[in-house]
Amino acid sequence: MTEKSLRQEQISRVIGNLDDRHIAECASYAPAGAAASPERSRRVKVKRIITLALAAALILSLGVTAYAVKASVATPEAAQRVALQEIEVWRQMGLLNPEVSFEGDANQIVEIEEHTGSEYWYGRFFNHSFDVRWHLGPVDWGDQTPPPELLQRKFGCNLRVDTLTGKITHACIDARPSEDAVPTGSVELKLGDPDDPENKDLHTLYFYDNFTDIFPADMTVDRFCSLLAEYWGFSGYRLADTVDTQYYDAHWTPPAPESLLKDLRSDNTDNYYLTVFFEGDQEGVPRYIQMTKFPGYVQLSFGTGHSVG
């Protein structure tokens, strides 16, 4: 159903709920009413005026609301405000932990015009949106600690705010581990000036498993997908196989719905990539849930975007 036809149906329902007697009384001549006392006549007129005014206000509000939703995210500043409001909605729903927040103003807000994605995106149509970004800041890699004066947030994110619906259609949330977190792995890399390949030192980079800083530890796959379906206005979801031949050469099979989200792992990488089809979404176009360990932080990504093939 289109937005226009939906508003028409709502208007018809509002009018249909009006008592026919009130409409008839407003349109007909009533001798008894004319003979009544001036005070009673005034009361009857006021009652009729209020009834019709309420109906008119409801009808007008439907159109105004539809316009307001579309126009409420018309600027980068509005996009930041709406992004923070929607994060609060997610906290209230239990999709995110209460501690997940983003300090200060966003570091970057990028406007993205509406477009149709390539086959890489299964031809998904993307509405006009703003990508609101709070940077995590420099990451402590153990033996390469960033300067203390640089802003380091506990949480960072990229939030894609759809200007038509006011919803976040894609989220990429980073979480830095606590100071007493124990690394789950490490890798040694030569780091230094990219313009001077010979002047690089060997550094140890540490991985952590702190996904439950972002979402509750008892969050299951089914609950997470069900909450997303509720938020986006879909009636259900279906998990699907994911085959990635572009980056990790991995094949992820759908987990059991009761599986804990924090326990999802692939066979050959610390990157887990889940394909989800939502009932009521664009036909044949999936959304994604992705969990990735990076040196010094973890990342949970979900929605219309993904970073693997």
Decide if 66 is inside a domain. yes
pLDDT higher than threshold 80 for residue 291 = yes
User: Could you tell me the pLDDT band of residue 242, with boundaries at 50, 70 and 90?
Assistant: confident
Decide if 309 is inside a domain. no
Is pLDDT larger for residue 252 or for residue 111?
A: 111
pLDDT in tens, 127-157: 999 999 999 987 665 555 555 555 689 999 9
Decide if 38 is inside a domain. yes
pLDDT at 142: 55
The pLDDT mean for the chain works out to 77
Coil, strand or helix at 88: helix
And the tokens for 59? 């009808």
Question: Both 213 and 250 in a single domain?
Answer: yes
Instruction: Compute, in degrees rounded to 10, the torsion defined by CA atoms 126, 155, 266, 271.
Output: 70
Decide if 195 is inside a domain. yes
Residue (of 236, 107, 237) closest to 159 by Cα position = 107
Q: Which residues, including other chains, have CB under 8 Å from residue 159's CB and lie 6 or more apart?
A: 83, 86, 87, 131, 132, 133, 168, 170, 171, 172
pTM score > 0.85 for this model?
no
Question: Both 67 and 124 in a single domain?
Answer: no
39-48, 268-277, 297-306: least confident range: 39-48
Per the document, the length of the chain is: 309
Domain boundary among 20, 52, 71: 71
Domain boundary among 24, 50, 71: 71
Is pLDDT larger for residue 40 or for residue 88?
A: 88
Rounded Cα distance between 150 and 176, Å, is: 15
Domain boundary among 55, 71, 87: 71
Question: Both 151 and 220 in a single domain?
Answer: yes
Question: Both 188 and 166 in a single domain?
Answer: yes
Decide if 103 is inside a domain. yes
User: Average pLDDT for residues 19-24, to the nearest whole number?
Assistant: 38
pLDDT higher than threshold 90 for residue 306 = no
37-46, 133-142, 150-159, 165-174: least confident range: 37-46
Q: Number of folded domains in the chain? A: 2
Question: Both 239 and 99 in a single domain?
Answer: yes
pLDDT higher than threshold 70 for residue 231 = yes
Question: Both 114 and 161 in a single domain?
Answer: yes
User: Average pLDDT for residues 153-172, to the nearest whole number?
Assistant: 96
Question: Both 30 and 88 in a single domain?
Answer: no
pLDDT at 205: 87
Question: Both 177 and 291 in a single domain?
Answer: yes
54-58, 130-134, 160-164: least confident range: 54-58
pLDDT higher than threshold 60 for residue 65 = no
Question: Both 99 and 17 in a single domain?
Answer: no
Question: Both 111 and 190 in a single domain?
Answer: yes
Is pLDDT larger for residue 198 or for residue 107?
A: 107
Decide if 12 is inside a domain. yes
45-49, 148-152, 254-258: least confident range: 45-49
Question: Both 57 and 149 in a single domain?
Answer: no
pLDDT at 273: 78
Decide if 308 is inside a domain. no
User: Average pLDDT for residues 225-254, to the nearest whole number?
Assistant: 81
pLDDT higher than threshold 50 for residue 277 = yes
pLDDT higher than threshold 90 for residue 41 = no
Rounded Cα distance between 295 and 270, Å, is: 11
Question: Both 92 and 179 in a single domain?
Answer: yes
Residue (of 134, 114, 118, 136) closest to 126 by Cα position = 114
pLDDT at 23: 35
Domain that holds residue 17: 3-71
